[in-house]
Amino acid sequence: MAKATKKQALGRGLSALLKDPENDIQSASDKNADKVVGNIVELDLHTIEVNPFQPRSNFNDEALKELATSIKELGVIQPITVRKMDFNKYQLVSGERRFRASKLIGLATIPAYIRIANDQESLEMALVENIQRQDLDPIEIALSYQRLIDEIQLTQEKLSDRVGKKRSTITNYLRLLRLDPIIQTGIRDGFTTMGHGRALVNIEKKEDQITLYERIVGEGLSVRETEKAVKTYHEGPNKKIATTSDSTPSLLKNGAKELTERLSTKVAVQASAHGKGKMVIPFATQEEFNRIKKLILGA
């Protein structure tokens, strides 16, 4: 208990140091930088901004509330990581769930590790740390890998060393990005798995991917059954996915068709054998999203 009190006091002391304009640390060579960089500091939540390079885009509200309850009872066990932007201004590198949960329960401060990094280093740190530490869905992981390759100019081999994953594992994730966006959404939302996606990506035509995907959701096909269907597809003379007439109720099919005509974009209806379902309306640009939104809202 005494150790925890001493640690908290130290964090508050460093926080006071950072709020002193005469100790505005901008680089690792500045005076008192060694006292702050790499140490745990209690930072005011309002001085921290969200990292625009954060690969996670989905935050489960229920899971966030559970984390907030845990933090309320036990405190923030693992400090977040931030980088210094300006005097008393910081940007998240990793730990956005802890940051959001702390704000949710009205905390004023949060323990943080401080780093000094440029934008490229911050992007790499955010992506690598989140891939390793956060429970990202397969598509988010794939997008993070792709960003490291595109924006940090890493080869798959170097990326493998950086994140501690086999090159074949990275390749399997990246291949998921060749799936139709509707299927990618289905994987993110749990309608199907990465295993299903790995099988579906072997079908080049997106419309055929969608046809088999609808069977997976409607009939509850296993990964093995999906792999078999893909094999049959490639061995068939006309390369056509077999469909099942009752995989999606006719009422839903008709409704999807009406919405497709009304919105002038392909509307996909996903329904499981247990009646659970989802409607997916894809869009390619912000302008298209705004157009669809206006039609739905009648604005």
Question: How high is the pLDDT of residue 291?
Answer: 85
- At residue 238, does pLDDT exceed 70? no
My answer on whether 101 and 185 are in the same domain is no
Q: Is the dihedral of CA 116, 121, 126, 128 positive or negative?
A: negative
Whether 127 is covered by a domain: the verdict is: no
My answer on whether 89 and 77 are in the same domain is yes
My answer on whether 163 and 191 are in the same domain is no
Of the ranges 139-153, 233-247, 270-284, which is most confident? 139-153
What CATH code is carried by the domain that includes residue 194? 1.10.10
End position of a domain, from candidates 90, 118, 146: 118
My answer on whether 190 and 150 are in the same domain is no
End position of a domain, from candidates 118, 151, 166: 118
- At residue 232, does pLDDT exceed 80? yes
Six-digit token string for 242: 């077999």
CA distances for 289 relative to 126, 256, 283, angstroms:
28, 18, 6
Q: Identify the active-site residue in 42, 49, 96, 225.
A: 96
Whether 130 is covered by a domain: the verdict is: no
Whether 126 is covered by a domain: the verdict is: no
Whether 86 is covered by a domain: the verdict is: yes
My answer on whether 274 and 212 are in the same domain is yes
My answer on whether 87 and 107 are in the same domain is yes
My answer on whether 105 and 85 are in the same domain is yes
Six-digit token string for 112: 């943080």
Question: CA nearest 90: which of 119, 118, 114, 124?
Answer: 114
My answer on whether 8 and 63 are in the same domain is yes
Whether 64 is covered by a domain: the verdict is: yes
My answer on whether 18 and 56 are in the same domain is yes
264-298 pLDDT, tens digit per residue, is 877 777 666 556 677 778 776 777 788 888 888 87
Confidence band, pLDDT 50/70/90 cuts, at residue 21: low
**pTM confidence score:** 0.49
Domain count, the chain: 3
My answer on whether 86 and 172 are in the same domain is no
Does 225 qualify as catalytic in the annotation?
no
Whether 10 is covered by a domain: the verdict is: yes
End position of a domain, from candidates 118, 147, 166: 118
Whether 67 is covered by a domain: the verdict is: yes
- At residue 10, does pLDDT exceed 60? no
Domain of 19? 2-118
Whether 63 is covered by a domain: the verdict is: yes
- At residue 11, does pLDDT exceed 70? no
